[in-house]
Amino acid sequence: MNTPADGRGLPGTNLDPWYSQYAQRTAGLSASEVRALFAVASRPEVVSLAGGMPVVSALPSNLITTAMERVMRDKGPVALQYGSGQGIPALREQILDVMALEGISGSVDDIVTTTGSQQALDLVTKLFIDPGDVILAEAPSYVGAIGVFRSYQAHVSHVAIDEHGLIPDALRETIARLRAEGRTIKFLYTIPNFHNPAGVTLSASRRSEILDIARSNEILVLEDNPYGLLYFDEKPPEALRSVDEEGVIYLGSFSKTLAPGFRVGWALAPHAIREKLILAAESAILSPSSFSQLVVSEYLATADWRGQIDTFRGVYRERRDAMVSALGEYLPQLQWTVPNGGFYVWLTLPNTLDSKQMLPRAVKELVAYTPGTAFFADGRGRHAMRLSFCYPTPERIREGIRRLATVINGELDLLQTFAGTGMLESARIDPHYASPPPDLD
Amino acid sequence: MNTPADGRGLPGTNLDPWYSQYAQRTAGLSASEVRALFAVASRPEVVSLAGGMPVVSALPSNLITTAMERVMRDKGPVALQYGSGQGIPALREQILDVMALEGISGSVDDIVTTTGSQQALDLVTKLFIDPGDVILAEAPSYVGAIGVFRSYQAHVSHVAIDEHGLIPDALRETIARLRAEGRTIKFLYTIPNFHNPAGVTLSASRRSEILDIARSNEILVLEDNPYGLLYFDEKPPEALRSVDEEGVIYLGSFSKTLAPGFRVGWALAPHAIREKLILAAESAILSPSSFSQLVVSEYLATADWRGQIDTFRGVYRERRDAMVSALGEYLPQLQWTVPNGGFYVWLTLPNTLDSKQMLPRAVKELVAYTPGTAFFADGRGRHAMRLSFCYPTPERIREGIRRLATVINGELDLLQTFAGTGMLESARIDPHYASPPPDLD
């Protein structure tokens, strides 16, 4: 109808009549690579090592049904009604018991229950970030956090990590450099346990050191800990929040220890901050679902939830073992992290391979993963990928890694065969990314 | 421990060590007067005409329990898992059926389900508002919307209304004035049916006129319609969205036609906008509760939900009648709106009374209401209040209005007795508010 000549019909112009009306922050919203993959990877013939879905089939669904029935029978009018913006007090009491397992003591008054801990991330970012403010985050970091931070126009500065987590010296240097540039650092976002996507855990000695650095630089810490109870061997060191009440906002979730379908997570905030957090939560959704909260509360009160977490540990340990052993068998020349808990392995590729460019070929071979670029705000991560072992069975994981090896080895063969012929346009190495990311080598 | 002399311990200074770190927008977060009242008004001896809680006891709770049991039996793994950020397709199909009752046809692709329609309000505001942008809203407007708008640093410009809703000439004048001042108007937020808090409904002829004004001024319309199906006599005119697909974002909710405890609402957006809305929703919460959505979907598929809405209509009609008749009996000298649906009556006081100042005395007399100031972004509304008839029984409503009349008449007597003596400091009229708000006189 319109020709390009009149300027209409061009991408990003006035196909959207409201194009000129969006807020500046809206430019930062983009489809996450993980979400876009869900559609592709949901075909049953594809082994998806891409998503982060927990194994809800390992739950005793009869106990959940019973919990719902009891809630409707005994507390129906409360379950169906609006509730407190801060969340139901009985559930907040039980959340204290859950956090006690990781060394945290706190007050029920300082907990805010949220629509998954993702909402807590959103609210904390809303409270603290003006456009251009800096958030420090691990390199790599959780894709959903980077998305939220961008949506409030934050600048994410990545801090290098190694197999023991965030590197204290790198943190010091990054803070010093940013402050020398006159930047305002608002908080450090960190996932200390079984990192998503890197699979590493912050060591005990580094925990004290990181907290000291944050304290002496007056930088708030946002500790995101969805996986801490899902350890395979020994428990991880106690939470950062367990030794610093005033300087840490702690985020927890029932999505991995119970089920994500209820969307129940929480924040435990320093007392000075929590009132603002409640106001932000009320503004965003009035109150979290009373029904979901009461079902979770009833489940915690009547089911053996600690035993269920043990069950999950066994399920995920077996899958971690399957993945690590398959990697050793099929891709022995590469490097990967061996997580002691959680859902994820980080695989480093040779510098000649680009995980994002390779993905369509992998999907053609019926295996999916998340390219490393999803986990960086600055374009890094092309020579790495996240492999999730949480959802497929051990057999499928093994088959998935076998397929992945076929793709990777095929790419490497191709590169070797045609090296120097100039025929590999699509696999060309961008000089900007030619050196490996400084994070996990 | 600290004396005021050293500057510590003063309100708003360094009692909060993170005080200097908050985003600018956080200054706009304040406790809503409605939320603060919930605590006071929840004492059983108080007749609360303050809140907006629906009568969930009128629901067939056995049907809801059955819906839950079926969901867990037939779709447990989906209900417990993460879902699509846009919402479950089957529910979005059913939402089309619900909206068809108000003349709306649309595509299931353009619906986004949200954690209550409050979240849709939040997301739309996040998408469009830069600090200082103007949102047009009725005078008065929904307290929860004003809170969201403030939280993104919008400037709310109120447009006068009368018993037929938003006044087209006032809208034209406001737009012209703001544009002459160089302001950027981002959208018109309106509640056309059984307005919260004013109780009025936008007439059919004004609907076309308002849409024409919005279209010719290229102003997006945000139509909030939680109460449209709760009419008492005849149906309200069809939704604004029913005649304008491209210029209206429509917000709907199951909180009043089913139950707020599930937190399931939705937005129907112009196709050009909905992709950004989905991205904003994913950023905020990843995905809405699969469990809540499936239970609502199962209820809609198996229960007589239209008949249930008829039941609600009867319940609320009886309560509206009780309130209007009690007002006629106990406060015949005042003016109030008579809504044809929804939850609210707007009561205008004599200019000598201040509803906010009077509230503690009312609570002492065991009746609560929401002061009119809650519904204005500009300090107006002191000589008015919102009376909710949704939650208390007709007998309690009658008793509540009787108590309210005691308070109002007592205040008026006091003013008359001491008029001109200068002894009524606490009831002093601020000259700024001495004239009645131009909205509902």
ipTM given for this complex:
0.91
* Single-letter residue type at B325: S
Indicate if the alpha-carbon torsion angle A311, A316, A321, A326 is positive or negative.
positive
Give the DSSP H/E element, type plus range, for residue B315: helix B305-330
The token duo for A71 is 């809630």
* Structural element, H or E, at residue A275: helix A271-285
C-alpha dihedral, B153 to B159 to B160 to B161, nearest 10°: -100
Give the pLDDT score at A33: 58
Nearest to B65 among A23, A72, A83 (CB): A72
Phi and psi for A303 in degrees, rounded to 5? Answer: -100, 165
A116/B59 CB distance under 8 A: no
Contacts of B326 (CB under 8 A, 6+ apart): B397, B398, B400, B401, B402
Structure tokens at A91: 């559930």
Q: Which of residues 64-93 of A touch B (CB under 8 A)?
A: 64-65, 68-69, 72-73, 76-83, 85
Q: Provide the chain A residues 262-301 that lie in CB contact (below 8 A) with chain B.
A: 262-263, 270, 272-273, 276, 279-280, 282-292, 295
Phi/psi at B257 (nearest 5 deg)? Answer: -95, -15
Encoded tokens for A272: 């000075």
Test B291 with A53 for CB contact under 8 angstroms.
Answer: no
Percent helix, strand and coil across chain B, each to the nearest 5: 50, 15, 40
Q: Residue ranges of the alpha helices (H) in B224-304?
A: 271-285, 290-302
Is residue A147 a contact partner of residue B283, using CB atoms and an 8 Å limit?
yes
Chain B residues touching residue A54 (CB < 8 angstroms)? 81
DSSP secondary structure string for all residues of A400-418: HHHHHHHHHHHHHHHHHHH
Does residue B228 surpass a pLDDT of 50?
yes
- Give the percent of chain A with pLDDT over 90: 84
Give burial (CB, 10 Å; 0-12/13-18/19+) of A133: buried
Q: Do A263 and B115 touch (CB under 8 A)?
A: yes
Q: Chain A neighbours among B 109-138 (CB < 8 Å)? A: 115-116, 118-119, 122, 126-130, 133
For residue B160, what pLDDT band results from cuts at 50, 70 and 90? very high
Q: How far apart are CA B367 and CA B371, in angstroms?
A: 13
Q: Is the pLDDT of residue A41 over 70?
A: no
Angle (CA) B343-B267-A143 rounded to 5° is 130
Asked if A261's CB is within 8 angstroms of B83's CB, the reply is yes
Chain B from 145 to 164: CB within 8 A of any A CB: 147-148, 151-152
Residues 6+ apart with CB under 8 A from A41: A48, A50, A51, A363, A368
Residues 6+ apart with CB under 8 A from B441: B335, B348
Provide the mean pLDDT of chain B: 91
| CA B357 – CA B336 distance, rounded (Å) | 20
* A-chain residues near B31 (CB < 8 A): 279
For all residues of chain A together, what is the average pLDDT? 91
On the CB side of B92, how many CA atoms lie within 13 Å of its CA? 21
The answer to whether the CB atoms of B280 and A151 lie below 8 A apart is yes
Distances in whole angstroms, Cα of residue B154 to Cα of each of A283, B44, B129: 14, 38, 6
* Beta-strand runs (E) in B204-320: 220-224, 248-253, 264-268
pLDDT at A361: 92
- Grouping H, G, I as helix, E, B as strand and the rest as coil, residue B159 is strand
pLDDT attached to residue B296:
98
Nearest to B290 among A31, A128, A261 (CB): A261
Q: Do B286 and A144 touch (CB under 8 A)?
A: yes
B145 confidence band (pLDDT: 50, 70, 90): very high
Given this model, what pLDDT does residue B422 score? 63
Q: Residue A439 — very low, low, confident or very high, per pLDDT cuts 50/70/90?
A: very low
- Determine, for residues A115 and B116 on separate chains, whether the beta-carbon distance falls below 8 Å: no
Nearest CA in chain A to B248: A18
Judged by a CB distance cut-off of 8 A, whether residue A186 touches chain B is yes
Partner-chain contact B292 A289, CB within 8 Å: yes
Q: What are the tens digits of pLDDT across the range B310-366? A: 999 999 999 999 999 999 999 999 999 999 999 999 999 999 999 999 999 999 999
Are the beta carbons of B411 and B361 closer than 8 angstroms? yes
Tokens, residue B318: 């009886």
Using one digit for the tens of pLDDT, what is the confidence trace for A373-394? Answer: 999 999 999 999 999 999 999 9
How large is the average pLDDT for residues B303-308? 96
* β-bridge partners, A251: A224, A267
> For A159-215, how does the pLDDT look when each residue is reduced to its tens digit (9 = 90+)?
999 999 999 999 999 999 999 999 999 999 999 999 999 999 999 999 999 999 999
Q: What is the dihedral of CA B195, B201, B202, B204, to 10 degrees?
A: 150
Strands (E), B261-400: 264-268, 335-336, 344-348, 367-368, 370-371, 384-388
